[in-house]
Chains A and B, each alone.
Chain A
């Protein structure tokens, strides 16, 4: 698209050259500064500006990447494999944009939400932790160094534990949820770093591109490499909430402050999924028998079981946020299925679903947050009459909910149809059946609350019918940006599908 390339002319050269380092350095530094800012408004404003800059930078890097291809940035001028390299390629550029953009959208929403949910004296630390989390996620996506990945994974994880625990002001269960998350997240990170250790033992390098080359020379490597791969996918499986390692997720999503849920749901598991893609197809290769076996039996097996199991759990949930959380576990199953089929088309479809689901689930949690903000709604039965009392919020929820189900002309449809098509092309007809089945289950759990919202009258409180009380503008704007994005992707899917296909081609080669 020529119009987009021309936008690059307005980006200064130094930003394109040093952008990769800037992306992780800026939030890290600003996190430290934000934490000591006395005034909570200023803290918000600085975070807002940082995330806005990050979004622009990520966009610029993505456009630059589309123009010139993979770029490698050497930290401190030290050339890899000895120095740390930052890589921007077709695989991680969209994820970088996604993380930056979602952090920006979350911050818009956070202004009213934090007022209701975070104690005034905790707000500056809240924003600092948020920035740390952003830095960690961006860092683990952009870095080309395996150990660096672990470091940033921990940066983002530890700040996330803090953020989840801040939900205690609203609901004390946040503390146990955060503790649970801390234990399991640490186990995951430990497994991951053990895996990296084994891999280092096998290849003698920490640079991922180098590892890939050496492993290919060794034809998949010895038993050490196999063990390394096993540890890595279990560690990442915990982080990305692969069934049955998802037990930390519903609690963390349900009791964290609502902006944190929005951000986590749309980025944290996605960054881990990106790492899974990076390690499975880039560092390792599905042509190694053990990788192929794990893909088939673990990723696909657990993915499919999780799709059905978590969807059924979502149907019976009484807490709306837990319902969406279980739905997230199910959606992760779709992505794992796409990765597990391991054709270019299926990986592209899984990647596409990663992006689309981030938009959809982020928006849904945003709408839920707005409902809590206005009416304190957490239970599904409280959706009664929301179509009348919060029509705009409910409208966005409906659009995104339909997208989650996979109604035509929405983002969810595009990725599901691509995934089903890729499965059919690979001859996996049973997988197409499972996709259809879980889409019906999604229809049940989303339809359940939509029916309540639109076909029941608003409740009567103290003898009076609840009147219309729409969410504040600062919540409606980000919510509708995401809702319209999901429709836009559904109607004009070329750009996103193109990005996903390029990413898959980078991993598996064309065709």
Chain B
């Protein structure tokens, strides 16, 4: 394909997906759009496969020169190629999952969003990265707005935060490039310059650092059913890529990541909206990756890459199963669900697979990769971070592994009798479910995942050792035991309709009220000072007008005599100046 059309080697494969999305905005035929939605990511994936050259460290292309800035719009190397494949795969699965939805906005914005994410991770320079960074935000906000009227404000907040993040990224990139003699290539950034800090902060917003995370739990649960699934696949993982590229081995990330794994656990346990529970759990999973990036080194980075890969699949699976439930029942509130395994058995099984994967049960996806990050933490003697992540692992089991399936499909019977999920949702879930198994299969499964990992290890990490399996099972059973005990003594927070306050409250409610108060005060001030102001403005305007307007003093038609006198006057000044000059 590349040989016949060498131009393809110069164009970032993500651009084709974006192009497909743009075509879809104009395409009125639903089936044709769906064909694009499935085919475009596959095409991009094939292109990446053809372009990726295992023998060379990196493939560069699409070099554009804008004045002093050189853009390298395409770079495929060991690191970016993993994300490229992953996003194409996720694009296809999401496309299948959304096949039933006849909506031009969803199709086109999902494609543009997917394409921007692919193009972003395959971009070689920071300017292209910034453009794609903003494009993912702008294109994805439509998916949130499709969630209905109540999602509008959340969408606006989401957009504002992400555009802010993009602007910070650009500012940081320019500062960083200036400090490095105008080199805009996106490589190791480091925290030596203020530009580096700005970029870290920008990525921190997008990846959900503690305190900067609130947009995720605010917006994701409010998006449309398919929208949430699509959103959960790309934005944060794109930012993980950027962190992995720019800030590998920054010690500060270890602590940020460790805290990130722990704090969402508490929120997730008490939260009622299951999509919000999953958003917290997403945040917690990202913490593992951030921590792994902070640890750095071949083992940890391989763990991060593997974790990202399986995470997109199993997290997508969980969101898809809850989405299917919501599609049939119209709600994702734990208090309104329960006992659905009778009517939606397949969905229940897929949800359990996803839950098992996220909890790192042996033979399920995260078992291999999460262990690599934890092992790297021990190897590098970060014991406190290790313990925090261990606690978080138990917490994951608690809220995602048990709580989500338990309250949805088991627990007390809600009395709902609904149909099984549509075939396309089941198909998407079965692909994801199969991958969850396959990528952790001890005999030839996880080795495939290893083949994708960017760094060579002297001896590959062995996940299936007796002590590791037993240790992990102990951890999981302890979590199950704790859950049972709490339920037994009615200590577990009951599923209740309640709103949980998180950092987002500070701007969603407090900030809003402060703004309202300020606006009310401003109004009062405006009313009370109106007379003074209008008098001042009109008198200033009148004076300006009287001076400068065609009827004004300065614009009176100057008779030539007066002008001549003025000339003579100025000549006098000039001569005087020349006279007194030294």
Contact = CB atoms under 8 A, between A and B. Distances in A.
Interface in B116-165: none
Interface string B559-580: 1100110110011011101110
Contact of A316 (B545, B559, B563): B545
Contacts of B564: 183-184, 187
B579 to A, nearest CB: 7
A317 B550 contact: yes
A227 B563 contact: no
A294 B574 contact: yes
B28 to A, nearest CB: 29
A249 to B, nearest CB: 11
Which has the most chain B C-beta neighbours within 10 Å: A191, A234, A238?
A234
A289 B581 contact: yes
Interface string A210-241: 00000000000001001101110110011000
Given A183-B560, A313-B548, A316-B548, A298 B566 contact: no
A148 interface: no
Which has the most chain A C-beta neighbours within 10 Å: B559, B560, B564?
B560
A309 interface: yes
Which has the most chain B C-beta neighbours within 10 Å: A233, A248, A316, A322?
A316
Contact of A184 (B547, B549, B555, B560): B560
B573 A187 contact: no
A313 B567 CA distance: 20
B563 A233 contact: no
A312 interface: yes
Interface residues of B, number: 27
Nearest to A238: B567
Interface residues of A, number: 38
Given A309-B554, A316-B552, A237 B570 contact: yes
A294 B579 CA distance: 11
Contacts, number: 87
Contacts of A188: 567
A234 B560 contact: no
Given A244-B566, A245-B563, A230 B548 contact: no
A297 interface: yes
Contacts of B582: 289
B571 A234 contact: yes
Given A226-B579, A251-B557, A184 B574 contact: no
A233 B574 contact: yes
Contacts of A375: none
B517 to A, nearest CB: 32
Contacts of B575: 226-227, 230
A315 B545 CA distance: 9
Given A184-B567, A244-B566, A316-B545, A294 B550 contact: no
Contacts of B560: 179-180, 183-184, 248
Nearest to B544: A312
B570 A294 contact: no
B581 A290 contact: yes
Nearest to B554: A313
Contact of B550 (A184, A297, A322): A322
B13 to A, nearest CB: 28
B534 interface: no
Contacts of B538: none
Contacts of A294: 574, 577-578
Interface string B531-557: 000000000000011011110101101
A237 B555 CA distance: 19
Which has the most chain B C-beta neighbours within 10 Å: A184, A188, A191?
A184
User: Top 9 closest A-B pairs, CB basis?
Assistant: A316-B549, A226-B578, A290-B581, A247-B558, A183-B560, A230-B574, A290-B578, A289-B581, A312-B548
Interface of A: 179-180, 183-184, 187-188, 191, 223, 226-227, 229-231, 233-234, 237-238, 244-245, 247-248, 251, 289-290, 292-294, 297-298, 309, 312-313, 315-319, 322
25 contacts: A183-B560, A191-B567, A226-B578, A227-B575, A230-B574, A230-B577, A234-B571, A244-B570, A245-B567, A247-B563, A247-B566, A248-B563, A290-B577, A293-B577, A294-B574, A297-B577, A298-B574, A309-B548, A312-B544, A312-B547, A312-B548, A315-B548, A316-B544, A316-B550, A317-B549
Given A226-B575, A312-B544, 10 more contacts: A183-B563, A226-B581, A227-B578, A230-B574, A230-B577, A233-B574, A234-B571, A244-B566, A298-B577, A318-B550
